Amino acid sequence: MSFFGLDCVRKKERELERRLRANDREYNLSFKYATNAIKTSKYNFFTFLPLNLFEQFQRIANAYFLFLLVLQAIPQISSLSWFTTVVPLLLVLTVTAAKDATDDINRHRSDNQVNNRKVQVLIDRKLRSEKWMEVQVGDIIKLENNQFVTADLLLLSSSEPLNLVYIETAELDGETNLKVRQALPVTGDLGDDIEKLADFNGEVRCEPPNNRLDRFTGTLTFAGQKYSLDNEKILLRGCTLRNTEWCFGLVLFGGPETKLMQNCGKTTFKRTSVDRLMNVLVLCIFGFLAFMCTILAIGNCFWELNEGSEFTVFLPRQDDNDAGFSAFLTFWSYVIILNTVVPISLYVSVEIIRLGNSFYIDWDRKMYHARSDTPAEARTTTLNEELGQIKYIFSDKTGTLTQNIMTFNKCSINGKLYGDVYDYTGQRVEITENTETVDFSFNPLADHRFAFHDHALVEAVKLENPEVHAFFRLLALCHTVMAEEKKEGELFYQAQSPDEGALVTAARNFGFVFRSRTPDSVSIMEMGQPHSYELLAILDFNNVRKRMSVIVRSPEGKLCLYCKGADTIIYERLHQSCSKLMDVTTEHLNEFAGEGLRTLVLAYKDLDEEYFSQWKQRHHEASTALDDREDKLEQLYEEIEKDLLLLGATAIEDKLQDGVPQTIEQLSKADIKIWVLTGDKQETAENIGYSCNLLREEMNEVFVISGNSPEDVRQELRNARTSMKPDALEDLAFLQERTRGKGVKVVRDEVVNGEYGLVINGHSLAYALECSMELEFLRTACMCKAVICCRVTPLQKAQVVELVKKYKQAVTLAIGDGANDVSMIKVAHIGVGISGQEGMQAVLSSDYSFAQFRFLERLLLVHGRWSYLRMCKFLRYFFYKNFTFTFVHFWYAFFCGFSAQTVYDEWFITLYNLVYTALPVLGMSLFDQDVNDKWSFQHPQLYIPGQLNQYFSKRAFFKCALHSGYSSLVLFFIPYAAMYDTVRDDGKDAADYQSFALLTQTCLLFAVSMQLGLEMSYWTAVNTFFVLGSLVMYFAVTFTMYSNGMFLMFPSAFPFIGTARNSLNQPNVWLTIFLSSFLCVLPVVTYRFLLIQLYPTINDKVMFKVRQAKAKIPPPSRPLRIRRTSTRRSGYAFSHAQGYGDLVTSGRFLRRPAVSRSSGFTGRTTTGFSPMGRSAGYSPTGRPQNVKVQDVVVTSLQMYRTIKDPAL
C-alpha cells in the first residue's frame, strides 16, 4: 500500500530470507539488519531549516509571495515598497516553522523515551543493562514480569514449567485476555543458566520482515538438528509479559522491522478539504489575476500609442522604450498592485484561527475526564474545520466503545431471576452507585472488587438450595481458566475469555472457589469445604459448537457432564421434561437480551459408568485418528451432549463506556455513518453493536457476510444488495459515478427504503478487499446504516478506511485506543485516540485525543461544526473584502492611463489587511456561533450542511466574487461621481486625487465593516470592540499620517498632508460614505431575506426557534436509557477462538507446587484477580468499578421456587 513506509517496501525487495546466529554480532552485522532504535521524527538540528522551508515553499501561495518579493526589488516595475511583502511573509514562515518544530520536538521526546528504556542483554557471557536502541539482531535478552517485549523474539526459555509464558497483546490486537507461548524443549533446557545461554549458537532462518501478526515461519538449527518455528514460539514487540517471572529470547527483528512497526502506517501530512479547495481557488485567482493584468497591459499599450505621444514632450520615455515594452512593464506592475486578491495575511489568519479553535478543545471542561485526570487535547492545529464535515466514523470496539470490563450482572436459576433490587413495596428500583451491595464477608476467598446487589441469591446459597449450588458448581468446574496462588488466599485467574473470568469470579464470590487444576483434576472450595473432582474429558469450545462441556467424577464417585453455551444450541439438546422450565428461562433470556446483556445457558447430565467407559475408548480412538479426526470427535460430542437437564442462564454485561448509546444515536441523527472495525469475534461484536444502539431491532435486516471463498462472499454481497434495493444494477459500470482526479471513480450514495446493518468477518473481508471485489463490498456497505467488521487485522482496518477515502467523496474519522488502531488512525482524514487502558500508541499517532468515546459527540457537533462554520465565514468574508479592495484598482486603471498608479494611499494598502480589517474578522472567526452548544445537541441535523460543503464551495466562492465586483463598482463610481466637478463649502475645488483616494478607502472600510456585521451571528464585547476599535484606529492613523508634523519629518513618505481634515469635514463626503456602504450591503440583505422566507435552511429554522425562546435555553431533556426489547440473544458470550482444552489436559500448563492453604473459611485474606481480562468488575488499571445496571421493564413472570418434577 502506498501509505506504508517506503523503507519497509525496499527492505522486502532486498531481503528474501532472514539468517542470523545467536550470540554472534559480527556475523549478524554483515547483513546490515536494522537496529532496535525507532524514529518517527522528521527533522534534526541541521535539516530542520532547509527541509521546513522546502516544505513551506511547496505551498503555492508562499512561493507566489516570494516571487512578488523579487518583482518588488525591480525599481522599473515596482510601485509598492518591499516591506509590504517581506514582513507578512517572514511572519507566516516563522509561525509555521515554530509550530512544526514544536510538533517534531514532541516526536523526538517520544522516540527517546522508548529508545532509552533498559533491558538486560547477554554480552560477553554477562547480563548487562542496555538501552533498547542498542539491542541488535541475534542478541539474547532477558525479560521480567510486566515488562514490554523489546523486539520480535524467539522464545528460548522461561521460569514457568514446560517453558510457557503468558503475554498480553493489547498493543497489537486490542485484546486484553492472556495468550500462551511455549519455547522449544531443546532451548527450554537452557533455563536461566547464563553459561549455557552464552554457549548457545543456534542459527535461525526465517521469513523477512512483514506485517502479518498471525503467522510466522522459520527453522532453528542447533546441535545438528533442525526444528520448526511457528507463531506460538514468537514474542512480538508491543506485547507485555504477564504472570511469568522471567524469560529469555533471541532477537529476530528489531526497530522498524518488527511486526508492530510494520503495521504502523506511514505518517502523512493531512490537509483539510477546505485546504484542498483553497489550493484550487488560489490557482483560479492566479489565472484571473493574469487575465486582469493582461487586459490592463493591453490597455496601456493602446493608451501609449494613442494618448501617450502627447505627453512625451514633458514626460519623455526612458531609454526610448516603445509602447510594447511599456505594456510589458505595466503587466508586472499590476501583478504587484493587484496581488491583494491573495493576500499573505490570509494564511496568517487561517493559522491563528485554527490555533484558537484548538485551544477551545484543550480548554473544554466538558471534555475533561476527572476520574483519569485526562483533558481533551488537539494534537494538531490544522484539521479543526474538517471535524465539521465527517461522514464516516471508523471505530475500534474494545476499549473505545467498551470499558474493558465484564461484570456478572444477573442470572436465572431454576426459573427464578436474580439480580434485580426491589423496595419495600415490591417495586423494582434502579441500581445506582449508592445501591447497597451484597456482603461477601462470609467468604474469605471472595474477590473484593466483585459487586452484586441482589441479596436473595446469597441467601439461597446459604440456605443450600440444591439448584443454586449446582449452578455455581458448574461455573466453578466448566471452564479452561488457570489459577495461580503464589501466596495463600491470593488467587489470580488466567482466563482466555473475559467472560469466563467473570463467571468463575462470580462462582468464587458465592462460595464455589476454583483453586487449582492438574491435567486430570479440578480442585474447588464449596462453601468452605475442599473438593477435588476428577477431570475425565473436556469437550472444548469452537465457533461451530458454540458450547463447551466437561465430564467430571465427584468425590462421591458420581459421573456428571456439565455444559454451558449459546441458548439456541443448548435448547436443542435438552431433555423433553425441561419444556416448562425452558419457557420461563426463555422469558428471562429475552429480558436479559433487551438490556443488551451477553447470555449463556447452563445444563448438566448424569452419566452411566459403563456407557462412559465405552465412550471414553471411542473418544481416544478418534482423537488419535489420522483421517477426519475433527469430524469423528464432533460425532462423539453430539452423542454424549444430549438429554441435558436445564439449570439456568447467566447474563454478563460487557460494560459500555458512559454515554456510548446516546452518542451513537446523536451522530446517527447527524447523518454520520459508523463502522466498527474490531479484532473480536463476530458474536461479541454483534452483542456490543446491539447494546450500544449501533444495530437496532427496528432495522429491516442485519446481513451477515461469512463466505469462505471469493465466490461465496461476492454472492452474499449481491444478495444483500438485492434485498435492500431489488432494482439495483449488477454491473458496477452503470453505477452513478463521476471521475475525480487521476481517473479515480467516485461512488455516490444509493438511497434504500428502510435501515439495514452489515456484519462481515475477517476472512470474508480479506476477499472483499481484493481489487476485483472492493467496489462490490463498498457499494453494499454504504447502503447500510451501520457496518461491523470482525476479526480484522490492523492492516485490514487501514485498508477499509483507505477504500472509503478512495471511492467516496466524504471525510473520514478513525477512533481507537490501541496500537492495533494506529494504522487506520494515520490513514483517515482525522485520527482520534482514546487515552484508555491499552497504552498510548494510538494517542501519540492521533490528531485529537480524549478519555471517553462520548466526548466525540461534543468534538464533532460543537467544536467541529463551529470551527467549520467560522472558517467558511472567514474565507467568504476575507475574499469579499480583498476582492472588493483589489477590483477598485482595476476600475481606476481606466482613468489613470493604465499607469499602475494606486487608487489608495500606500500606507492604507500596507495597513488594510494587517491593522484595519485583521482583528474584526479574527474576532468573528474565533467567537462567532450560530447557536450555542445546547441547541447544537438538540438539533444534530445542524451538522449535515458541513458534510455537503454548503458553507464554502466553488459556487459560494464565485457568488462572493460577483458580490465583490458589484461592491467595487459602487465604491469607485459613486465617490467618483460625487467628487466630479465638486467644490467645498468655501468654494474651493475638492476634486483632487488625494481627496478621492481618502473618500474611496473610507467608503471601502465602512462597507466591509457593515458586511462583517451582517455575517456575524453572535456579538460579544470583544467582537464589538474589534469592529468599532478598527474604525477608530483607521481615523486615528489617518489623521496622524496626514498631519503637518509627519510630512515635515518624512515629506516623501507622507505626501497626503492635510487631506483628512480638509475632506472629512464636508457633509457631502459623509453622505457619499453612507450611501456607498448602504448600496454595497443592500443586495445581500435582500437576497438573504428572500432566501429565509422562501427556502429556509435548518440553521435558519433553529435560529428562529432560538429567537422565539428569547435566548432562554430550554432545559436539556434527560437522556433516556436506550433499551432493546427483542428476542435476540447472544449466540455465545465467549470472545475467543479455540479454547485452552487441549493445553489443560496435556499437562503443559503445570506450575510449581502451590503453597499449603487452609481448607476452612477462617481468617480474612487478601484476594486478587490477575490483570489479564475484563472480568467481574475488574479493570486492568486495578481501580474498583461501579456497577451500573440499565433500567428494565417489570414482567409479570411466575417465578419458580423449586421444581419438584423428579425428571429434573
* Three-state DSSP class for residue 598: strand
CA atoms of 129 and 141, how far apart (whole Å): 10
Q: How many residues does the chain have?
A: 1208
DSSP state for residue 859 in the 8-state scheme:
I
- DSSP letters for 51-74: HHHHHHTTSHHHHHHHHHHHHHT-
| CA angle 1118–1122–1127, rounded 5-degree value | 155
Catalytically active residues, by annotation: 396
Take residue 1047 and report the three cell numbers written for it.
510630512
Take residue 205 and report the three cell numbers written for it.
532462518
Instruction: With beta carbons less than 8 A apart as the criterion, state whether 673 and 393 touch.
Output: yes
Q: Parallel, antiparallel, or unpaired for β 701-705 and 756-760?
A: parallel
CA-closest candidate to residue 563, choices 505, 446, 649: 649
CA atoms of 42 and 23, how far apart (whole Å): 34
Please state, in angstroms and as integers, the Cα–Cα distance from residue 300 to each residue in 154, 305, 333, 389, following that order.
80, 8, 11, 47
Sign of CA dihedral 777, 778, 782, 786: positive
Take residue 345 and report the three cell numbers written for it.
495575511
* Three-state DSSP class for residue 1142: helix
- DSSP letters for 672-733: -EEEEE-SS-HHHHHHHHHHTTSS-TTSSEEEEE--SSHHHHHHHHHHHHHHH-TT--S-GG
End-to-end CA distance of the chain: 61
Q: Parallel, antiparallel, or unpaired for β 830-834 and 848-850?
A: parallel
**Position 577: which residue type?**
S
CA atoms of 967 and 960, how far apart (whole Å): 10
For residue 551, what is the enclosing H or E element?
strand 547-553
DSSP state for residue 983 in the 8-state scheme:
B
DSSP state for residue 861 in the 8-state scheme:
I
Instruction: With beta carbons less than 8 A apart as the criterion, state whether 640 and 751 touch.
Output: no
H helices present in 510-654, as ranges: 567-571, 579-594, 609-623, 629-640
CA atoms of 112 and 152, how far apart (whole Å): 20
CA-closest candidate to residue 510, choices 597, 420, 418: 418
For residue 88, what is the enclosing H or E element?
helix 83-115
CA atoms of 1108 and 26, how far apart (whole Å): 81
Q: What are phi and psi of 640, to 5 degrees?
A: -90, -25
CA atoms of 335 and 294, how far apart (whole Å): 10
DSSP state for residue 804 in the 8-state scheme:
H
Take residue 199 and report the three cell numbers written for it.
554457549
Instruction: With beta carbons less than 8 A apart as the criterion, state whether 470 and 510 touch.
Output: no
CA-closest candidate to residue 872, choices 924, 937, 908, 942: 924
Instruction: With beta carbons less than 8 A apart as the criterion, state whether 556 and 529 touch.
Output: no
**Who contacts 770 (Cβ-Cβ below 8 Å, separation ≥6)?**
710
CA atoms of 277 and 166, how far apart (whole Å): 52
Instruction: With beta carbons less than 8 A apart as the criterion, state whether 651 and 409 touch.
Output: yes
**Position 305: which residue type?**
L
